Amino acid sequence: MVSRVIPVDPFDLVIFGGTGDLARRKILPGLFRRFCAGQMPESSQIIGAARSDLDDAAYRKMVGDAIAEFGGGRACDSGTLDAFLKTVHYVKTDAKGDGGWAELNDRIQQDRVRAFYFSVGPSLFGDLAERLHRFGLATPQSRIVVEKPFGHDLESAKALNATLAEHFDETQIYRIDHYLGKETVQNLMAVRFGNMLFEPLWNAQYVDHIQITVAETVGVGGRGGYYDKSGAMRDMMQNHLMQLLCLIAMEPPAKFDPDAVRDEKLKVIRALEPVEPHHIVRGQYAPTKNEPGYRDDVDDPKSRTESFIALKCHISNWRWAGTPFYLRTGKRLKARTSEIAVVFKDAPHSIFGVDAGRHRNVLAIRLQPNEGMTLDVTIKEPGPGGMRLLDVPLDMSFAEALGPEAEEAPDAYERLIMDVIRGNQTLFMRGDEVEAAWAWTDPLIAGWQDRNDVPKEYDAGSSGPEDALMLMHRDGRKWREIKV
């Protein structure tokens, strides 16, 4: 299998917040890897724009250091780094004033795609959009890229959408949810819609339930200030897990094009039923002997923000009526693992009698790490002595099946930035999609705030609070183990 890298046309990319954490960790190293792979032409320009007093040389030094720290890639060497750094420039720009904008305009080439990456807090989105317009930088060839969090609730998301819409058309706005850029997340669509095997069974008649787990081992670390105002619901559930749910539950789009895919995802979100309060479990990680607990991390001994959430939800449509979806995500858990498991119903009648026990097919899709798929199949236990049944996995690791190519696949940011340049919005969230996700989320948050709900403490390194286990036990089901 040979990977096909299709170079994009030369482009200009302005990174507002070009000296910030996201730019240093993800955007700049990602661009460098695309450069090494031959996808980014040498005549492209990457323009850092921020408040710091830097010139091209100082910014290039910063970019070089970021690449050294956060990773180039196997195909990259120092000669390539020099060539890449020649594409990098810096313009000191004031997002809230007039400084730097004329210079930025002079630096950008005409007649090519120009992308503006808003790698800054959402409070600056309006200022940037307005100035891009006023200083003549916003042209039909322009695209803007905005990061999550896209709003804090429905009202703020609507306000952000309205602000951006004053200056840009929806086809020019790229809202990033980096989960959609993950290779294995895109693979969900390939598995579902590229195979005849699964889709006929992919409904309430054959599927008992679906569980989605995104578990992390890290705590909130230095992001306490942001995180404590968000919690797992806003930080992960409203966006990343919601997107996974959409891809697993949506109807087949007529074609793989941006609006066809996003129309189907939107229908799933709109069909989500409100979640009953007793179907939501929230938790906070407790301190250990050596490590602080959640409340220490956010420096608030009374914080009621959740670092873990599990919930059971239903999608009211013909395909899924009656099939529960169990979703959970949290920090400081047992292992870093993201997995979707489709648990099929029991065979309608067991010809082997009750002694054969209960056996079920489970299709588990491992998103990270150790990406792959497992299908549990029931077989006969070998040997004499009657018919005993056993579940064994058909196990496929993408790394083993695809070799080095799987390892060299672009990471989420690389993939998404190249999609921006190509003008492909399939893997970006549309404004109405984000608003629908908030419309479902807001009442759940308001509900626990009204009830003065206090998150349950859970041990760091565990699978979350006991109550989360009970959420499934009560239904005669159980979570899959959190393990790598």
Annotated active-site positions, please? 240
Instruction: Name the residue nearer to ligand BG6 (CB basis): 25 or 92.
Output: 25
Number of chain residues interacting with ligand BG6 (CB under 6 A):
2
- CB of residue 168 to ligand BG6, shortest distance in Å: 23
From the CB of residue 189, how many other CB atoms can be counted at a distance below 10 Å? 17
Site for ligand BG6 in 235-274 (CB under 6 A): 235
Nearer to ligand BG6, 121 or 386 (CB): 121
Q: Rounded to the nearest 10 degrees, how much is the dihedral formed by the CA atoms of 146, 72, 370, 244?
A: 10
**Residue 176 Cβ, how far from ligand BG6 at the closest point, in Å?**
9
Token digits for 211?
Answer: 């569980």
Which residues in 451-478 are b (16+ Cβ under 10 Å) and which e?
A: eeeebbebbbebbbbebbeebbeeeeee
| Choice between 208 and 414, CB closer to ligand BG6 | 414
Least distance from C-beta 231 to ligand BG6, angstroms?
A: 10
Tokens in use for 231? Answer: 């919690």
Exposed / middle / buried, residue 351 (Cβ in 10 Å: 0-12, 13-18, 19+): exposed
Quote the least distance from Cβ 322 to ligand BG6, whole Å: 31
- Toward ligand BG6, which CB reaches closer, 235 or 371? 235
Interface mask (CB under 6 A) for ligand BG6, residues 196-235, using x and -?
A: --------------------x------------------x
DSSP-assigned beta bridge partners for residue 118: 16, 146
Residue 221: partners with Cβ closer than 8 Å, 6 or more residues away: 297
State yes or no: cis peptide before 369, omega within 30 of 0: yes
Q: How far is the CB of 235 from ligand BG6 (least distance, A)?
A: 5
CB 451, min distance to ligand BG6, A: 25
Name which of 216 and 371 has its Cβ closer to ligand BG6. 216
Output the residue with the shortest Cβ distance to ligand BG6. Answer: 235
Nearer to ligand BG6, 137 or 248 (CB): 248
Footprint on this chain of ligand BG6 (rule: CB under 6 A): 216, 235
